[in-house]
Chains A and B, each alone.
Chain A
Amino acid sequence: MLDPSAYELGVTDLDRLLALLADDGYNCLGPTVRDGAIVYAAIASTADLPRGWTDEQAPGHYRLRRRGDDALFGYNVGPQAWKQFLFPPRERVWQMSIDGQAFVPAPDVDAATRHAFIGVRACELAAIGVQDRVFGGRPFHDDAYLARRAGAFVVAVNCVEAGGTCFCADMGTGPAVEAGHDIALTEVLGGDAHRFLALAGSERGAALLERLGCGPAAADLASRAAAGIEHARTSMGRRLDTAGLPALLARSLDSPHWETVAERCLACANCTAVCPTCFCSSVEDTADLDGGLATRWRQWDSCFNPGFSYLHGGEVRRSTAARYRQWLTHKLGTWHDQFGSSGCVGCGRCISWCPVGIDITAEATGLRERDAHKAERPAAAART
């Protein structure tokens, strides 16, 4: 039974928490401000966090601005997902030499770094869960991914404000952190107080909170934290009606709507690069000059890239419409068949970071409207 104690932490306690994680050998990673965006990088203390910053997000729009308070987690998600640390953008899979009689594998370069992720949002936790099923939930397990995943300590943060492109509430992934974390924090500011409600999500999270030795949460802290999460839930910037969506997409493969998206889509692959669940990769084999030492690399790929569907003779998906259709029908539809959940966690990154502001929720709605229209038309035809 997990310790149900709710602890009350101050900012200095959070600094001590980071120090304890570092002492335990974790490489602490968290949100930081760089180049006008909030990105995940190594942090040593709360001084490295984006204190007093928030983000403004809309289709094709992301700006940081000052909040006017000292909140450490007063923003939503930036362009990067935690995916980059568990499933690196480019990874040496193996290296080996050939001695004529055998292949001789070289030692692994990927030392077993244990990361502590600080400030993981509910949608991002859900995304990590999705990738766990991709790399560990089917016949073949990616041992390198699973080793990194098992080593990761997750300090999650509940969102108390929703961003302009957020729709986790509709995807059932947030805003409340529910599973997969070690510790869940909720930041509560008020008056002169800057407090965090801390709850354990795992045995090791409970052990760490106990070592931290903070007192129990004051009576108002839990209720104010819950109110903050409820505020986030009711102020989502976007909505997505998921009812019957996989079936709707399956019968919309020849919808004219794909062409209307393709008129705007640049097939730039930004959406797949920022998506926390997109898992496609390409494999590249290289060799040194004398051909005796070979290396295999794996790097992120995108279903929007021209060569992605290459088969002798050309690409299967030649048009942008076909590529967008693949992305959307996979993300919101066939993902359910493959992995038992949607591939979308409602983080809104693909909307904010699309250079032309294509909005996945609006396109899903557009497909739904065309589908309804199609259903009406045969009836109308039958009457005449």
Chain B
Amino acid sequence: MATVAEAATRNAALLPRPWRVVAASRESHDVVTLELESAAGETSAWQPGQFNMLYAFGIGEVPISFSGGDPRRLRHSIREVGTVSRALAGLVPGTLAGVRGPYGSAWPLDAARGGDVVIAAGGIGLAPLKPLVERICAERNDFGSVSLLYGARTPVDRLFGACLADWRAQGIDVAETVDHADAGWTGQVGVVTTLVRRARFDPATTRAFLCGPEIMMRFTALELERAGLAPTAIALSMERNMQCALGWCGHCQLGPWFVCLDGPVFDWPRMRELMMVRGL
């Protein structure tokens, strides 16, 4: 008869660890940020760009990128789109969430030091980029001009409004646009791509980081190429159905890549041709 300890180690890779919800804050009508601390005194050596598998007990598990925090306190911003993400977003402080991770590749931030930076985010895509922006702010002198181009569907979908103001104050050139304006919106209307043309950067030294819907990343990467960036200087975060994050379940395959293992952060040359094929 197997012991409990054996049971826990045999499938250790698939076993969520208990992390306590210490704060839950609503970012928008459909996005909630959870702050988690380990119930077992564990820490997580995560990097911006990586993700955790978050488990709502008895309901299910989904991949969610880190949107901030530190090794002891993790932040995950969750958009409510399905049964599991709704259950996770509904967790109240004091309850447990399951955590497996960190998984996947990180934003290649070190390669950006000494040059300019363009960060383009679409919708919830700002969440995986947020810890990257925070690192840049913390080491602001290591970087030249830094532009954050952020597109939301409508003004009420805008995320991290307080952060955006804070980042502006720290010397980040934040440009925003919305797909559809409302009566109170006085800013830019249109797709994120249009913001690329207005951003100031030296293409020879610029590194770009993109996260958002595939079509937005594809057009933004092409626009950045036209502006003179080397394809290898563009990094993007891909999304696919993921059920294990370990390279076993096969759902996240994209061409030769397992998005969970080889990604989610890829350089543009690895994605360029694949993203031109419909339904791959």
A residues with CB within 8 A of B: 93-94, 96, 98, 100-108, 111, 134-135, 138-144, 147, 250, 253-254, 279-283, 285-288, 291, 293-294, 296, 298, 301, 303, 308-312, 316-319, 321-322, 325-326, 329-330, 334, 337-338
Least distance between B85 CB and chain A CB atoms (Å): 9
Contacts of A309 in B (CB 8 A): 240-241, 251
Least distance between A280 CB and chain B CB atoms (Å): 3
Contacts of B278 in A (CB 8 A): 322
Q: Are A316 and B279 in contact (CB under 8 A)?
A: yes
Q: Are A101 and B2 in contact (CB under 8 A)?
A: no
Q: Are A102 and B40 in contact (CB under 8 A)?
A: yes
Question: For the complex, what is the distance from the CA of A70 to the CA of B277, rounded to whole Å?
Answer: 54
Interface size on B, residues (CB 8 A): 49
Contacts of A337 in B (CB 8 A): 256
Contacts of B55 in A (CB 8 A): 285
Given A96-B15, A102-B40, A103-B57, 11 more A-B residue pairs with CB atoms under 8 Å apart are A100-B96, A102-B39, A108-B2, A140-B13, A140-B247, A143-B11, A253-B277, A301-B251, A309-B241, A330-B253, A334-B255
B residues with CB within 8 A of A: 1-4, 6-18, 39-40, 55, 57-61, 81-82, 96, 98, 239-241, 243-244, 246-251, 253, 255-256, 258, 261, 277-280
Q: Are B7 and A103 in contact (CB under 8 A)?
A: no
Contacts of A303 in B (CB 8 A): 250
Contacts of B258 in A (CB 8 A): 338
> A283 — nearest CB in chain B belongs to which residue?
B243
Decide yes or no: A94 and B240 within 8 Å by CB, A103-B18, A285-B59, A338-B258 being known contacts: no
* Nearest 10 CB-CB pairings of A with B: A287-B58, A280-B250, A337-B256, A322-B279, A140-B246, A334-B256, A294-B58, A108-B7, A108-B2, A283-B243
Question: For the complex, what is the distance from the CA of A371 to the CA of B255, rounded to whole Å?
Answer: 19
Most B-side CB within 10 Å, residue of A108, A135, A281, A338: A108
Question: For the complex, what is the distance from the CA of A283 to the CA of B11, rounded to whole Å?
Answer: 13
Q: Can you list 25 A-B pairs with a CB-CB distance of less than 8 A? A: A94-B14, A94-B15, A102-B96, A103-B15, A105-B8, A108-B10, A134-B247, A140-B246, A142-B246, A142-B248, A253-B280, A279-B248, A281-B243, A281-B249, A283-B61, A285-B55, A285-B60, A309-B240, A312-B82, A321-B279, A326-B253, A326-B280, A329-B255, A334-B255, A338-B258
Contacts of A101 in B (CB 8 A): 18, 39
Cβ contact of A301, chosen from B17, B81, B250, cutoff 8 A: B250
Least distance between A314 CB and chain B CB atoms (Å): 11
Contacts of B7 in A (CB 8 A): 94, 105-108
Q: Are B240 and A316 in contact (CB under 8 A)?
A: yes
Question: For the complex, what is the distance from the CA of A139 to the CA of B246, rounded to whole Å?
Answer: 8
Question: For the complex, what is the distance from the CA of A103 to the CA of B96, rounded to whole Å?
Answer: 9
> A295 — nearest CB in chain B belongs to which residue?
B58
Contacts of B39 in A (CB 8 A): 101-102
Q: Are B10 and A102 in contact (CB under 8 A)?
A: no
Decide yes or no: A105 and B249 within 8 Å by CB, A312-B81, A319-B279 being known contacts: no
